[in-house]
Amino acid sequence: MNFVPNHTPFELSAEQLTELTLDYASNSIYLDNEEWENSDNPYRRQLRPQIIKHLDFGKPLGVEQVLEYSALAANRLLAAIYETDLVFLPKKGFTEESYADFRKYYSATNRARGEMIRPSLERHVFGFLDDEVEVSGAWTKESLAAYLGKLADEPQTASASEKAIRESSDPRRAARNWLIQFAPDFLSEASPMIRNVLGYYGPVQSEWFKVIIDEYGYGVHETKHSTLFEDTLTSVGLGTDVHRYWQYYLTSSLMLSNYFHYLGKNHEHFFRYLGALYYTETTLVPWCKRAADLLTEVFDGEADVRYFTEHVHIDTHHGRMALEKLILPIVDYCGESVIPEIVRGFEEFQVVNRIADEDFAAQVAWMDAGPRNKELHEPVWGKVEAGEVTAPVAHIVEPHGELSNTHQHDGDELCHIVSGTMKFVSGYDSHQILEAGQGTVIWRNRLHGAIIESEECVYEIHSVGDYRACLS
């Protein structure tokens, strides 16, 4: 590749970024596969490189765009890049295939390619926060302590996700999908945080390490927090392989996990991490209590909720530690000039967390609406067929077993089956069977995929923009 003069790998032209991203995503471990789940192979992450050439990662997304397909693709790429810093091994040991994938994932070539595109992808995904969060005014240690301290006294109410699960037509399905969204973070819990305890910066470094020791169960594997989360997954019938459910991670779930890697990987954001840490450690206490109660209720007492009850116990302590042993001492150590960055991290994480909460609630509504969306195909298709609605259309022919790895669209779509049978998937354990003459409405920004169950399937995807407008 010939680089444009005065450009560096951290300031790439659109063409360079696309080419480098395609180089990275074309690694065989990132190609589409033939199964919905990645069984005991933590190196497989479907990145859909065939679509990347159509995407522009060269500029920050606006807040109204952070759930679009470009954001999903970039967050998947970032998750794969960040985790080459972590060690993952298959639960049952290597097969010939998984050992080959291990070598490909951790190879110098894969890591170098990832680092070349990482800063651009980070700007693309997290750049919107510069517009969403503004920190101004003169800050002192005392005003910071008062500002952060109010959080512990604020009333905590049920999140949109919790309400969506309780109100779902299938609460158990919704709850399993909810737990799946936590897997990118919880199965390698505290790994992003460890990035911040390397180096040398005095007593605060040792205090922060105490938090990490708690997360790792004081060296007892059975009490390690990620082990407790595995027990939760197993108790509700889910697998515990790392990234087994990669296909079902929502854009915002990956963004939430990636945010802490983003702060931890880029040490210029060290102080932001402290602010985000305080928010999550403090709000986890009431959230985990509600989560434990919700899972107990939904699964009739069968769910192992020790992961959540342990956090109710330990994070009361961690929230206090984050303020008294980490944040305020670091202000003493570094000066009040770092306070705006601490506040920025505190505020940024709330924005990302709110987006993830609302996104999951919308996905539950999308899964619940599956039968209704299938019914809506008929009136929308009638408008299209009669020429009352003109929409760009893609004509597709696929063979038996063809798997359309999960993705989403930036506008509403209409799927119409001309011939054959399609299993249309809208989430884990959520699908509709579509036969010839049938179809479904596909909501904007909703994760979905499909698999062909007939010898051949001919279907059309009509980009209708807003399906509700078609019905008016």
Q: Which helix (H) or strand (E) holds 105?
A: helix 96-105
Q: Are 404 and 449 in contact (CB under 8 A)?
A: yes
In whole angstroms, give the CA distance from residue 248 to residue 42. Answer: 15
- pLDDT, averaged per 10 consecutive residues of the chain (472 residues), comes to 44 91 97 90 96 94 97 98 98 96 98 97 98 95 94 85 98 98 95 96 94 89 94 98 97 98 98 96 91 98 96 72 94 97 97 98 98 97 92 95 94 98 98 98 98 97 93 84
Alpha carbon distances (Å) from 376 to 457, 462, 464: 21, 14, 13
pLDDT reported for residue 314: 67
pLDDT reported for residue 139: 96
Alpha helices (runs of H) in 195-269, residue ranges in sequence order = 203-215, 225-235, 251-265
Which pLDDT tens digit goes with each residue over 31-44? 998 889 999 999 99
Alpha helices (runs of H) in 299-369, residue ranges in sequence order = 306-321, 328-334, 339-368
Distance of CA 98 to the CA centre of its chain: 24
Of 314, 158, 308, 285, the residue nearest 235 (C-alpha): 308
Distance of CA 86 to the CA centre of its chain: 17
In whole angstroms, give the CA distance from residue 193 to residue 183. Answer: 16
Q: Are 334 and 258 in contact (CB under 8 A)?
A: no
Alpha carbon distances (Å) from 258 to 4, 61, 245, 424, 430: 30, 16, 17, 29, 26
Domains of the chain: 14-127 (no CATH), 134-365 (1.20.910.10), 389-470 (2.60.120.10)
pLDDT reported for residue 459: 98
Predicted TM-score (pTM) above 0.85 = yes
